[in-house]
Structure 1
Amino acid sequence: MIDKHIDEYITFLKIEKGLSPASLSSYKQDLKHYLSYLDELGVKSLEKVDTDMLISFIKHLNEKGLSSKTISRTQSTLRNFHQFLLNQDVTKMNPAIKLTAVRGEKKLPEYLTIEEMETLLATPEDSPAGVRDSTMMEVLYASGIRVSELISIKKPDVNTEMGFIRVRGKGSKERIVPITDFVARQLEHYIVSIRPRLLKTEDTEDLFITNRGRGFTRQGLWKTIKKYEVLSGISKNITPHTFRHSFATHLIENGADLRAVQEMLGHSDISTTQIYTQISASKIREMYKQFHPRK
Structure 2
Amino acid sequence: MPPRFKPKADSRFAAAQPAPGLAAHAAGFHSYLKAECGMAANSVAAYSRDLRRFLDWVARQPSRNVGPNAVTLEFLLEYQADLSDAGLAPSSVGRHLVSLKQFFRYLVLEEAATENPAELLDSPKLWDRLPAVLSPQKVEAFLDAPQAERGAGEVTEALILRDRATLALLYATGCRASEVVGLKVSDVRLGGGWARCLGKGNKERVVGLNPRCRAALEAYLADARPLLARDRPSVSGEGAPLLLSRTGRPLTRATVWDLVKKYAALAGCSSKVSPHTLRHSFATHMLAGGADLRALQELLGHASIRTTQVYTHVEHTRLKAVHAKHHPRG
TM-score by length of 1: 0.90
Which protein is bigger by CA-based radius of gyration?
2
Distance 1:201 1:72 in 2: 47
2:303 equivalent to 1:273: no
Distance 2:216 2:264 in 1: 21
For residues 211-230 of structure 1, the aligned pairs below 5 Å read 211-230=246-265
2:46 equivalent to 1:26: yes
Query: Which letter does structure 2 place at the counterpart of 1:230?
Result: A
- The aligned residue for residue 249 of structure 1 is 284
2:193 equivalent to 1:171: no
- Contact in 1 for aligned 2:132/2:280 (Cα 8 Å): yes
- The aligned residue for residue 123 of structure 2 is 101
For residues 6-155 of structure 1, the aligned pairs below 5 Å read 6-43=26-63, 44=65, 45-125=67-147, 127-155=157-185
Query: Which letter does structure 2 place at the counterpart of 1:9?
Result: F
Regions of 4+ moved over 3 Å: 281-285
Distance 1:2 1:131 in 2: 50
1:136-176 CA distances to partner (integer Å, 9 max, x unpaired)?
A: 11111010001111111111111011111011111211111
2:220 equivalent to 1:190: yes
Closer, same or farther: CA 247–49 of 1 in aligned 2, 3 Å: same
2:38 equivalent to 1:3: no
1:26-83 CA distances to partner (integer Å, 9 max, x unpaired)?
A: 1111112212222233331121111111112112111222111111111111112112
- Contact in 1 for aligned 2:196/2:207 (Cα 8 Å): yes
Task: Give the secondary structure class of the aligned counterpart of 1:177.
Answer: strand
Distance 2:56 2:291 in 1: 47
Distance 2:319 2:144 in 1: 28
How many residue pairs were aligned? Answer: 285
- The aligned residue for residue 210 of structure 2 is 180
CA-CA distance at 1:96 after TM superposition:
1.3
- Contact in 1 for aligned 2:196/2:205 (Cα 8 Å): yes
1:81-132 CA distances to partner (integer Å, 9 max, x unpaired)?
A: 1121112111121111211232211322222111100011111127322222
Distance 2:262 2:108 in 1: 49
Query: Which letter does structure 1 place at the counterpart of 2:199?
Result: G
Identity score, percent: 33
TM-score by length of 2: 0.81
CA-CA distance at 1:282 after TM superposition:
9.5
Query: Which letter does structure 2 place at the counterpart of 1:83?
Result: R
CA-CA distance at 1:185 after TM superposition:
3.0
Distance 1:241 1:86 in 2: 36
Distance 2:319 2:268 in 1: 26
Query: Which letter does structure 2 place at the counterpart of 1:253?
Result: A
- The aligned residue for residue 273 of structure 2 is 238
Aligned-residue CA RMSD in angstroms? Answer: 1.9
- The aligned residue for residue 299 of structure 2 is 264
Distance 1:86 1:195 in 2: 50
Closer, same or farther: CA 87–15 of 1 in aligned 2, 3 Å: same
- Contact in 1 for aligned 2:47/2:99 (Cα 8 Å): yes
Task: Give the secondary structure class of the aligned counterpart of 2:146.
Answer: coil
